[in-house]
Amino acid sequence: MLSSIQRADAERILSNDDVNQKRVQLSVPPIGAVLVVDDDEAARWLVVRALARSGIQTFEASNGREAVEHVLERPELIDAIVLDVMMPGLTGFEVIRHIKRIPAAANIPIILVTASATEEDDIVRGVEYGAIDYIMKPISTAVLTAKVRAACERSRAERRLRYDLRFAELHAMIDPLTGLFNRRHFESRIREASAYSKRHDQPFAIVMMDLDHFKSINDTYGHETGDHVLTQFAGAVRSVLRGEDVAFRYGGEEFVLLLRACDAQRAADVAERLQKKLRARPYVFRDGSTRTITFSAGIAAALSGEGYGHAELVSRADAALYRAKSAGRDRIAYW
């Protein structure tokens, strides 16, 4: 615990910093979350109080190992780290090295606290390890809060950018009407399925499906109803899939299932479950009429003799689908 003298000294430093005092707003909402790492309790308390007075949330660690454990536990909660260089056990440099090895924490900005302006080696070494800035002791709380604010803003901006990029990537994979993956994403996932099958010597299969007489629904009831039929069909598809299976809207009223660790017969079982699901719940149109939504399906499985390759799989499933439609629709055909 801090002694009364240590607390008084820290309060005096905070109170005498006129520049910082002008910026103090105790009611400011948190603008960032910072991990403060220092084995010196008085120094750590000074930093924590200064940041708190600037509306910055803080976490504390009294040594390097505790700091690394904190980052490992919840890296997404930390916007920046204020890290003392000289500590027993893990030094600040070693802490940086450990943190940079944590994928989710590698981009957290780290500000080093070093003993004096003469410690140029500490500064150079810290930058080489990945620190973005440094603060000299004795600490100016105005400089401290300004640098930490800037680091938090940078960290949050980068996090928003990564989120936006990830959202854009995901959005590009999704069919906006049905919420299923789209054709572009199917082309990458089938390559992944082929590679997985080669590694584990397991078959995989695809089921290509085309809704029967869908044009008549659009012509009779309009495209809005047709879109609703597609979304209901997509919901039925999701309900019959295993966790490792993936469904795609291939285009128009055509859909594809990608079934891992699945041969042609098991793929047919999935398609039959979907048929039963649709027959059990006919679609009800606005005028009160009902229709069972049916589909034709073509199945093709990757063959071990061909190294579980995927190059011909789509054309084979498409050929099987054509046979199913030519034979009268509402049926399943194998390649």
pLDDT digits (tens, 9 = 90+) for 261-312: 999 999 999 999 999 999 999 999 999 999 999 999 999 999 888 888 888 9
In a domain, 193, yes or no: yes
Q: Do 18 and 146 share a domain, yes or no? A: yes
The residue among 167 and 8 whose pLDDT is bigger is 167
pLDDT at residue 8 is higher than 70: no
Q: Do 112 and 47 share a domain, yes or no? A: yes
From residue 153, alpha-carbon distances to 6, 49, 54 in Å are 32, 20, 14
Rounded to an integer, what distance in angstroms lies between the CA atom of residue 165 and that of residue 160? 8
pLDDT of residue 254: 97
Q: Name the β-bridge partners of 210.
A: 254, 296
User: What is the domain extent for residue 270?
Assistant: 181-334
Q: Do 281 and 227 share a domain, yes or no? A: yes
Q: Tokens at residue 91, please?
A: 């030094």
Q: Name the β-bridge partners of 181.
A: 174, 248
What is the amino acid identity at position 121?
D
For residues 56 and 23, the answer to whether their CB atoms sit within 8 Å is: no
pLDDT of residue 303: 84
For residues 308 and 197, the answer to whether their CB atoms sit within 8 Å is: yes
Last residue of a domain, one of 135, 168, 201: 168
Distance from the Cα of residue 117 to its chain's centroid: 42
Q: Do 106 and 210 share a domain, yes or no? A: no
Last residue of a domain, one of 123, 139, 168: 168
Q: Do 215 and 313 share a domain, yes or no? A: yes
In a domain, 24, yes or no: yes
pLDDT of residue 21: 36
Q: Percent helix, strand and coil across the chain, each rounded to 5?
A: 55, 20, 30
Last residue of a domain, one of 144, 168, 192: 168
Q: Do 145 and 223 share a domain, yes or no? A: no
Q: Do 154 and 8 share a domain, yes or no? A: yes
Counting Cα atoms < 13 Å in the Cβ hemisphere of 17 gives 21
Query: At 295, which helix (H) or strand (E)?
Result: strand 295-301
Q: Tokens at residue 283, please?
A: 């679609």
pLDDT at residue 12 is higher than 50: no
Q: What is the mean pLDDT of residues 60-80?
A: 94
In a domain, 289, yes or no: yes
Rounded to an integer, what distance in angstroms lies between the CA atom of residue 45 and that of residue 49? 6
CATH code where residue 158 lies: 3.40.50.2300
Percent of the chain scoring above 90 in pLDDT: 70
In a domain, 173, yes or no: no
Rounded to an integer, what distance in angstroms lies between the CA atom of residue 309 and that of residue 292? 36
In a domain, 106, yes or no: yes
In a domain, 199, yes or no: yes
In a domain, 174, yes or no: no
Q: Do 230 and 321 share a domain, yes or no? A: yes
CATH code where residue 291 lies: 3.30.70.270
In a domain, 13, yes or no: yes
Q: Do 63 and 138 share a domain, yes or no? A: yes
pLDDT at residue 216 is higher than 90: yes
111-141: pLDDT as tens digits:
999 875 456 777 788 888 889 998 888 889 9
Q: Tokens at residue 204, please?
A: 């995989």
Start-to-end CA span in the chain (Å):
76
DSSP states of 182-210:
EHHHHHHHHHHHHHHHHHHT--EEEEEEE
For residues 112 and 119, the answer to whether their CB atoms sit within 8 Å is: no
Rounded to an integer, what distance in angstroms lies between the CA atom of residue 264 and that of residue 275? 17
pLDDT at residue 51 is higher than 60: yes
Q: Do 320 and 211 share a domain, yes or no? A: yes
Q: Do 189 and 147 share a domain, yes or no? A: no
Q: Name the β-bridge partners of 164.
A: none
State how many domains the chain has: 2
Rounded to an integer, what distance in angstroms lies between the CA atom of residue 314 and that of residue 273? 22
pLDDT of residue 116: 58
Q: Do 189 and 157 share a domain, yes or no? A: no
pLDDT at residue 72 is higher than 60: yes
